[in-house]
Chain A
Amino acid sequence: MSELHARGEQSFTDLLAPLVQPAYRLACAMLHDAPAAEDVVQDASLIAWRKLGKLHDRSKLRAWFLGIVANECRNAKRRGWARRVNLGLPSRLSVASTEEHSVKRADLRRAMLQLEHGDRLVVVLYFYLDMPVAEIAAVVGATADAARARLYRAIHRLRPGLAIEEALR
């Protein structure tokens, strides 16, 4: 850890910087709130940077880091005291909401938001970040079979009439 910190910015560029954009996409997809997603990525990066020494297998860096991001997304509402008590300003006028041009896409986003956190997470990792099920399992801390079952269940909730094989294309 201390060796990594001694290398400072260079190590950050080498290790975590390539993962910032995937982390941001994950956070946006989970929260549907870009400023909050940026905050989550910053906080998760700081946590990851401080705990990097505990990660012994660097090949699992992406899954480990995205797991931290996912956890921070789950905690975002609880930790976001500065914005949660938002003086009663209606969320329909938030920046993200004004960009909702397509009713169909908005409906799908609403359906995803209604998924339980873990189900939404596997859907985002599989469909939006194009991660294989084995790596998704590492992010969510489950076996590959359990991650796959969770993915199938989430797909069924999003599109009850759609065959799994077709959905996975």
Chain B
Amino acid sequence: MSLRNEIRAALDDVTPPAPALEHKVETFVMAGNRVRILRPRRPSVHWTRRFRGPLSFVAAVLVLVLIGGLVLGGRLLREMNAPPQGINQADLKRLESRPLRTFPTVRAGDPCPTSPLTDVSAHSPEDVLLGDGPVYSSRLGGQSVTRTNWGTWSVWSVLVDTTKASGPILIRARDLPTHAEVVFGWQTAHGQAGEGIPAGTATGTDVVLGETEHLYSEAVLDLAHPFALTKAGDWPIFKTFMGYPKAATGCIGFQIDGAGFTELLVVD
């Protein structure tokens, strides 16, 4: 076999077909052209440069956070259906009492009506994120996607505009075409600070990367404990470990409830 054919065969293995990519890209580009500018852009110095100096300090903090997260995660497993620690339970109950609103209707095969992009470059390491705020979402996917016998697990990252949100933030979600409930986990992620904390009722279990994961119907963001690598001055980052069953499509509608707002966010 020629070197050309060898290289083609090797690279074809990591290039799965993407038949609808042109449409997705076009939708993304056209949405990007209508991005609303909330703040002037910062100078174009790359954000990681600012981390270089205190990187060792951040690494040390991260180790401590991981250790703390392991301890907290173990405790949560023991108290599986106990309400999330550190969250004002009265506030949480009020948010849980809000009914789910009507998500956009999406039929099988329809393009996912993802939320508009917003320029958040003044507050975030990412230039544009999905949503109108106060909670903004990254796109799903990436290296953390893990498939199990039950379904697909992924890490979902959001930023919260804390000038417009306070107190606990409740997240509930559905796969739009199939109406399947999206669930939230914790154990695999070792309960790091900045994790969305699973709440509500555990409806079942799945084994993810060797860890038994309880499937919770809700997640709560504790604004007092954002992700450790949130840069000073940026909006806090939260990373939630979420999953959806095999039958679901990954076009997901999130209802996000906080004090004084309810936000619907659609992410593909």
Contacts and interface: CB of A to CB of B under 8 A. Distances in A.
A48 to B, nearest CB: 9
B26 interface: yes
Interface in B137-195: 138-139, 141-147, 155, 157, 188-190, 192
Interface string A27-45: 0110011111111011001
A87 B144 contact: yes
Given A41-B21, A89-B188, A108 B6 contact: yes
Contact of B10 (A39, A45, A105): A105
B7 A80 contact: no
Interface in A102-159: 102, 104-106, 108-109, 112, 123-124, 127-128, 155, 158-159
Contact of A91 (B28, B29, B143): B143
Interface residues of A, number: 65
B143 A94 contact: yes
A86 interface: yes
B25 A105 contact: no
B4 interface: yes
Contacts of B48: 78
Given A21-B22, A32-B14, A109-B14, A80 B241 contact: no
Contact of B142 (A17, A24, A36, A42): A36
Contacts of B143: 33, 35-36, 83, 86, 89, 91, 94
Q: Is the interface of A mostly helix, strand, loop or mixed?
A: helix
Interface string A10-30: 001100110011001100110
Contact of A81 (B2, B3, B126, B188): B126
B45 interface: no
B190 A124 contact: no
Given A29-B11, A46-B29, A89-B143, A158 B24 contact: no
Contact of A5 (B33, B157, B241): B33
B30 interface: yes
B208 to A, nearest CB: 9
A87 B141 contact: no
A99 interface: yes
Interface string B208-232: 0100000000000000000101000
B191 to A, nearest CB: 10
B144 A33 contact: no
A38 B147 CA distance: 19
B156 to A, nearest CB: 9
A167 B29 CA distance: 39
Which of B2, B10, B48 has the most CB atoms of chain A within a 10 A radius of its CB?
B10
A54 interface: no
Contacts of B145: 35, 94-95
Given A46-B32, A87-B188, A162-B3, A20 B209 contact: no
A6 to B, nearest CB: 11
Given A39-B142, A94-B143, 19 more contacts: A8-B30, A34-B16, A38-B141, A42-B24, A42-B25, A42-B28, A78-B48, A80-B142, A82-B155, A82-B157, A86-B155, A87-B239, A95-B145, A102-B13, A105-B9, A109-B13, A127-B3, A158-B3, A167-B3
Interface of B: 2-4, 6-11, 13-16, 18, 21-22, 24-26, 28-30, 32-33, 46, 48, 125-126, 138-139, 141-147, 155, 157, 188-190, 192, 209, 227, 229, 239, 241
